[in-house]
A and B are shown apart, each in its own frame.
Chain A
Amino acid sequence: MTISIRRPRLSKQQRRSLLIGLLFISPAIIGFLLFNIGPIVQSLQYSFTRYNILQPPRYIGLNNYLFLLEDRVFKIGIQNTLYMVLIGLPIHLVFNMLMALLLNTKIKGLSIYRSIFYVPSITPVVASTIVWLWIFNGQFGILNEFLRFVGLQPIGWLTDPNWVKPSLIFMGAWFGGNTILIYLAGLQDVPHDLLESAELDGANALQKTFKITLPMISPVIFYTIIVNVIGYFQYFTEAWVMTATRDGAAGGVANSAMFYSMYLYQTAFQQFKMGYASAQAWILFMIVLVATLILFKTSRWVYYHAEE
């Protein structure tokens, strides 16, 4: 009863619309509780247990987290994933931006080019990665065939621990069509009169790009950075298909292509250490959260021009 007194008073009309509103979003509420909040809390609980599915979970305190500190493969997984986020992602975004800028030069046949760059983004990841498996093949792959043709030593694209991540980044550029199209859509919204007046003032193409175009689409750039940082921390399918062996293992020579999500998957679904994997999941959650917060805190460079 005391609760109802504290509650802000709603008119009958307001209460009615609250009820109807909640009714409409009820799938979201149920989904949020059942598939988000519930599992997040449970995941935290499991992370303090030893749980192999067959026996009920047993509380072991912080042990999983302490094990992680000494887990060599886990450490490699973090390093490889950071490599992807800190090196692969910037390369991809800059490359995609360059492609978008090129396509924005009032080029003829734009829709054809747009399709060509976008198609790899919509085909099944496994199917398109399989082609690259063959292109990268050490013995019969076309890339090494080309190297031999120009008189260079063939490279173990997927077998040399030093080359496998650069190879994955190289292939990843091919999957960037989605970002190219997002950038292109942003570029096409940059007001022409701004660029024209800058041109009259004698600005060259480089100045126009850095002083006008890029600041104007900085919200779009920020969006792609956020989305992709979160995505790259979960990097899985491409590396899995590229390095999967017949007995179900993956991760490449000396774990050179072992990424965070792959190790988590192996821990949970191949070794059935659900508690240990939950601890990994929570660490990942924290890393992604901190990374996102840092990005938002340092987002002063993003320019939001006033809405007309």
Chain B
Amino acid sequence: MAAAISWRENRLVQDRIKRMIAYTIVLIMAVAYIFPLYWLVVTALKTDLEIFQQPPPIFPPDPQWQNFGASTTYIPFWRYMWNTIAISGLTVLGTVLSCTFIAYGFARIQWPGRNFFFLIYLSTIMLPSQVTLIPLYLIFRDLGWVGTFLPLVVPHFFGSALYVFLLRQFLLTIPQELSDAARIDGASELGILWHVMIPLMRPALAVVALFTFVQTYRDFLGPLIYLQNQQDWTISLGLKLFQNMYGAQWQLMMAASTLAMLPTIVLFFFTQKTFVRGIALTGLKG
């Protein structure tokens, strides 16, 4: 008996030690992950002298809050922000609309060859974008679209395999009886999609909308290729402008970078649950 008890106590102590070690490591890692963001904001608040001071002040004695304002006039910050949000917003609209229709066609209508078509469609996820990059550029150039938002936005109105997949998986979980009942009542497929499915799909649609928005907002290569007039740039392209011929304006570049990060960070904190659910969906059902 005594041995059993001490064994159990031993376990408890061991568990506690393990827990403490885990906590310590997680805490250290959390600090390490936050540090670059901290350093970004702190550097944004320094004077141009403090930037090059050695050793660098861990926190500037006199934070230069006006750097944030200055950074938005040094480059046409708000214009770039507006461009970025306009492109991202249109992309979300196109993706959500087209993927809803496509997913419905793949999940809720029985038609011969459906699964075969779906597999082929799904395989496009694995296609490296570089393969289609050059012909697409040349097509858009012939259409006169290079230098506009169109090449960045229009393709998204024709679906995206990953999100079709996600929505299809979701639609497959909705009982068939719901559709059958509506069909008996004389509803058309469009009517079923609109009145029955879309209300049920809201959580999945939110995932698609959020992921698409963040993905587009972060994009660099697309705008780099297609946006040739400086006034049409997105914020990711605009941040480059701080490295001008007189050397980098580090504190302003950091201030603008901080501001550029804020929309997605704020969005994340308001929609955390949707994000986490979406990550589980995209990651697990693959």
Q: A120-B33, A122-B268, A123-B261 are in contact. Are A140 and B158 (CB under 8 A)?
A: no
Binds B, one of A67-75, A84-92, A159-167, A230-238: A230-238
Give the B interface residue count (CB, 8 A).
Answer: 93
* Alpha-carbon gap, A182 to B165, bound state (A): 17
Q: Are B284 and A43 in contact (CB under 8 A)?
A: no
Minimum distance in angstroms from B238 CB to a CB of chain A: 9
A288 interfacial contact with B, CB 8 Å? yes
Can you spell out 29 A-B residue pairs with CB atoms less than 8 angstroms apart? A14-B111, A18-B112, A18-B113, A21-B109, A23-B105, A24-B101, A25-B101, A32-B121, A46-B135, A115-B272, A116-B30, A116-B33, A122-B214, A123-B218, A123-B264, A124-B218, A124-B260, A131-B43, A132-B36, A185-B284, A189-B284, A219-B284, A226-B286, A227-B286, A236-B221, A246-B243, A274-B138, A284-B128, A288-B128
In the complex, besides A122-B264, A125-B218, A274-B134, 7 extra interface pairs with C-beta distance below 8 angstroms are: A25-B102, A107-B26, A111-B272, A126-B237, A130-B239, A182-B283, A246-B245
A28 interface neighbour in B54, B121, B256, Cβ under 8 Å: B121
- Contact in complex: A234, B128 (CB < 8 Å): yes
Q: Which of B220-269 contact A (CB under 8 A)?
A: 220-221, 224-225, 235-237, 239-240, 243, 245, 250, 253-254, 256-258, 260-261, 264-265, 267-269
**A264: nearest chain-B partner, CB-CB:** B130
Task: Tell me whether A117 and B33 are in contact in the complex, defined as CB-CB below 8 angstroms, given that A43-B135, A105-B22, A278-B134 are known contacts.
Answer: yes
| Complexed CA–CA distance, A236 and B104 (Å) | 35
In angstroms, how far is the closest chain A Cβ from the Cβ of B148?
17
**Inside 8 A of B36's CB, which chain A residues have their CB?**
120, 128, 131-132, 135, 174
Tell me if A218 counts as interface (CB < 8 A to partner B): no
B170 within 8 A of A: no
| Beta-carbon contacts under 8 Å, B130-170 to A | 130-139, 141, 155, 157-159, 164
**Range class of the A interface residue count:** 35 or more
Chain A CB within 8 A of B51 CB? yes
Whether B106 is near chain A, meaning CB under 8 Å from some CB there, is: yes
Taken together as a complex, chains A and B put the C-alpha atoms of A227 and B272 apart, in Å, by: 23
Cβ of A303 within 8 Å of any chain B Cβ, yes or no, is no
Interface string of B65-99 (1 = CB under 8 A from A): 00000000000000000000000000000000010
Contacts of A257 in B (CB 8 A): none
Q: For B220, what are the chain A residues with a Cβ–Cβ distance below 8 Å?
A: 124-126, 236-237, 240-241
A140 touches B56 (CB 8 A): yes
Q: Per-position contact with B for A12-26: 1 when CB-CB < 8 Å, else 0?
A: 001001101111110
Evaluate contact between B126 and A182: CB separation under 8 angstroms.
no
Of chain B, the residue at the smallest CB distance from A19 is B111
Whether B39 sits at the interface, judged by CB under 8 Å, is yes
Indicate if the CB atoms of B235 and A124 lie closer than 8 Å: yes
Question: A141-169 toward B: CB 8 Å interface, digit per residue (1/0)?
Answer: 01001000100000000000000000000
State in angstroms the CA–CA spacing of A130 and B102 once bound together: 39
Which one of B25, B56, B157, B279 has the highest number of Cβ atoms from chain A below 10 Å of its Cβ?
B279
